[in-house]
Structure 1
């Protein structure tokens, strides 16, 4: 068996990783994918030209490593992923390793618990078909919806797009939008602290949906996705009122 460590997958390695990913996704009924386009570190375990296991990791803004990987269903419980992990630990040194997992994948959860990885928190992936939006005509504390505006810092043809929300000309919030293969990804949606608890979250989200997705260049996006912490109940409630539904729940473990 041969372990390959690389910062850049060649085309053959990328194809092998994608094939292994699809085999595991179909077997385990999960939607997790390898972040191939990220600045990742890769460890691949080959046996006679067949990719049996892969581990990839990228460094987060907190200087931790977020890790993901797959092992062929026919070659599990043989220590293959552990071998890759041990190789990576020599590079990671004292950094924490973060593993996002689908709780329905019992084997992965069992492996992490056997490694003494600790549960950190849960996060939900939510989706919204782009035929839905919410309507807010009046904000709390006397603010009128008509005084709220949206400024797009880049053209809809470019991604990621930064959006800034203005109330009476003052910035009250912002969000970002990036493109995915099967939709668009909303992230960084935030209302400035001084303007919270006035109903601006609902109003800004409504304005964003009505403004951006009415643009012809945005109609190629069939769905809008976002991720939200399971601990952030107000945000989950806001998104659900806008029509978002929980598509998948991920649990994060720290090793």
Structure 2
């Protein structure tokens, strides 16, 4: 998409950008805080460097930014929209102006709005737009601290990742693989971005009676940076013939230990309300439900 422009209205302007600066990121944090102080929640906003993501900042003539909208192109048919307006500046047409510009950017795509059930004003807007509620998802979070570390240090075979203050990839793919042993298997976690692979030498024993002695690839997941100390976990997959045997728990627990080594403090994810096995897995590995999100189709 590669967009960077300003759209001028009579009383305000809209900055469209894919790369928000630190000041704009701070402004968004302040808007979210104002909603929390008003007893509302809003969906997490991701600042990942993705060419399919775009942010629209509405700026008043006095320089203040009372409303922000993000648009993510999911595929050729669907886009996802997240928006936040300071409670004191609602019902002044700001969201409508942002949505009009977002519709232009989305083209013929349908727009999905993830909305927390505790956001009364947002639900009223969805009703006014006659948006259809398609599904419900849970947003979950896990706080990482010293207690998440294993008893023995986790080491990488690449010197640039040995330091705990090393920077984690913006978007990383993590792969769990098994190595055959005489009585039990050992497991290692691999992380890569742009074909650069790092093997994490942390090993966890697993009962060989699980028929995994010949297993190579076990499963994988993706993490995307959402802030300096936070990541979003997504696309968790275990090989189909190995599901229900505890491998998901191994993958997530090893991942959380490694993320803690990288200095990550908070991991978030979204899971369908109908996906009972996934909900059970995440709760078992330390995640807690932070809010319920309903997806509305506009």
Q: Same fold (TM over 0.5)?
A: yes
Structure 2 counterpart SS, 1:25: helix
Are 1:4 and 2:14 matched, yes or no?
yes
Greater helix content: 1
Partner residue, 2:220: 174
Shift of 1:99: 1.1
Of 221, 238, 242, the residue aligned with 2:285 is 242
Cα separation, 2, equivalents of 1:67 and 1:159? 33
The 1:77–1:31 alpha-carbon spacing in structure 2 relative to 1, beyond 3 Å, is: closer
Structure 1 contact 159–178 (Cα < 8 Å) conserved: no
Structure 1 counterpart SS, 2:263: coil
Cα separation, 2, equivalents of 1:207 and 1:52? 41
After superposition, give the CA deviation of every residue in 1:54-111 in whole Å (9 maximum; x if it has no partner). Answer: 2221211455221112222122123221122123323323211111111101111111
Cα separation, 1, equivalents of 2:252 and 2:86? 42
TM-score scaled to structure 1, two decimals?
A: 0.75
Backbone CA RMSD of aligned residues: 3.6
Structure 2 contact 140–288 (Cα < 8 Å) conserved: yes
Partner residue, 2:247: 203
Cα separation, 1, equivalents of 2:296 and 2:100? 17
Of 221, 235, 239, the residue aligned with 1:192 is 239
Cα separation, 2, equivalents of 1:236 and 1:85? 33
Unmatched tracts of structure 2, length 5 or more: 1-10, 150-181, 205-211
Cα separation, 2, equivalents of 1:159 and 1:106? 46
After superposition, give the CA deviation of every residue in 1:140-190 in whole Å (9 maximum; x if it has no partner). Answer: xxxx993352341349xx99999xx97524223222344554444432221
TM-score scaled to structure 2, two decimals?
A: 0.65
Partner residue, 1:225: 268
Partner residue, 1:254: 297
Structure 1 contact 160–177 (Cα < 8 Å) conserved: no
The 1:43–1:241 alpha-carbon spacing in structure 2 relative to 1, beyond 3 Å, is: closer
After superposition, give the CA deviation of every residue in 1:198-233 in whole Å (9 maximum; x if it has no partner). Answer: x1xx23423551x45555971633444332111111
Count of residues in correspondence between the two structures: 237
Unmatched tracts of structure 1, length 5 or more: 134-143
The 1:81–1:190 alpha-carbon spacing in structure 2 relative to 1, beyond 3 Å, is: same
Range that drifts further, 230-239 or 123-132: 123-132
Cα separation, 1, equivalents of 2:260 and 2:238? 26
Cα separation, 1, equivalents of 2:261 and 2:271? 23
